[in-house]
C-alpha cells in the first residue's frame, strides 16, 4: 500500500513538471508572426498563418521542441516570423538599444538631480532702481492729498 502511495505521489509531482517542459500550440502561436498580416499567429487567419499553425501542430505531435519549431519556421519563412528578434548579430541591437537608452536616461536624471540639489534656492533681486526725484515728489503730493 505504501509503495502504491509513493508511486502515485511521484507521478503527481512528475507529470506537471514534464507538462511544463513541453511547448504547447498557444504559446508558440503567440511567439510567431504571420508573414502576410504581421500579427501573431494566434490573431491571424490568413492562409499562410493556417499553414504555419498546421506545421506547429504536426511538429509538436512528432515531439519537436519549441526552439526547433521556431528555427524551422524561421528557415522556411525568414526571421521576420519571430515575434522577438533573435539575440544575435545585427538583431542584437533591438535588445541592447532600449536598455542603453534607459541607462543613459537614468544617468542623465541622476546628474541633473545632483546639479539641482547643489544649487541654492533662487534669491530675489536685491538691487533697487533709483526713482526720479521729480516723480517721487509728485507721488508724495498725491498721497498727501489722499490723506486729507
Q: What residue spans define the domains of the chain? A: 23-84, 86-117
Averaged pLDDT, 86-93: 71
For residue 5, pLDDT over 70 is answered with: no
- What per-residue confidence (pLDDT) applies to 137? 92
- What per-residue confidence (pLDDT) applies to 13? 64
- What per-residue confidence (pLDDT) applies to 131? 85
Neighbours of 52 (CB within 10 A): 24
Using CB atoms within 10 A of its CB, is residue 81 exposed (0-12), middle (13-18) or buried (19+)? buried
pLDDT band at 103 (very low <50, low <70, confident <90, very high): very high
For residue 20, pLDDT over 60 is answered with: no
CA 113 to chain centre: 25
- What per-residue confidence (pLDDT) applies to 124? 57
Kindly give the residue spans of alpha helices, DSSP state H, lying in the chain.
2-21, 25-31, 47-61, 66-77, 92-118, 133-147
CB 28 within 8 A of CB 72: no
Q: Which residue has the higher pLDDT, 88 or 117?
A: 117
For residue 22, pLDDT over 60 is answered with: yes
Q: Which residue has the higher pLDDT, 135 or 21?
A: 135
- What per-residue confidence (pLDDT) applies to 125? 54
For residue 122, pLDDT over 80 is answered with: no
CA atoms within 13 A on the CB side of 28: 25
User: Under DSSP, is residue 107 helix (H, G, I), strand (E, B) or coil?
Assistant: helix
The verdict on domain 23-84 having CATH code 3.50.50.60 is no
* C-alpha closest to that of 77 among 25, 42, 37: 37
CB 6 within 8 A of CB 44: no
Separation CA 83–CA 105 (nearest Å): 27
Average pLDDT over the chain reads 80
Amino acid at each position: 500500500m505504501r509503495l502504491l502511495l509513493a508511486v502515485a505521489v511521484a507521478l503527481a509531482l512528475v507529470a506537471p513538471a514534464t507538462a511544463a517542459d513541453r511547448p504547447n500550440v498557444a504559446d508558440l502561436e503567440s511567439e510567431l508572426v504571420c508573414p502576410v498580416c504581421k500579427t501573431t499567429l494566434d490573431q491571424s487567419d490568413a492562409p499562410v498563418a493556417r499553414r504555419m499553425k498546421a506545421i506547429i501542430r504536426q511538429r509538436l505531435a512528432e515531439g519537436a521542441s519549441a526552439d526547433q519549431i521556431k528555427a524551422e519556421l524561421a528557415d522556411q519563412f525568414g526571421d521576420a516570423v519571430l515575434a522577438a528578434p533573435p539575440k544575435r548579430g545585427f538583431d542584437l541591437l533591438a535588445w541592447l538599444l532600449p536598455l542603453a537608452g534607459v541607462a543613459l536616461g537614468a544617468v542623465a536624471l541622476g546628474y541633473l538631480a545632483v546639479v539641482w540639489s547643489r544649487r541654492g534656492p533662487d534669491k530675489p533681486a536685491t538691487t533697487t532702481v533709483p526713482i526720479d526725484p521729480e516723480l517721487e515728489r509728485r507721488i508724495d503730493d498725491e498721497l498727501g492729498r489722499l490723506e486729507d
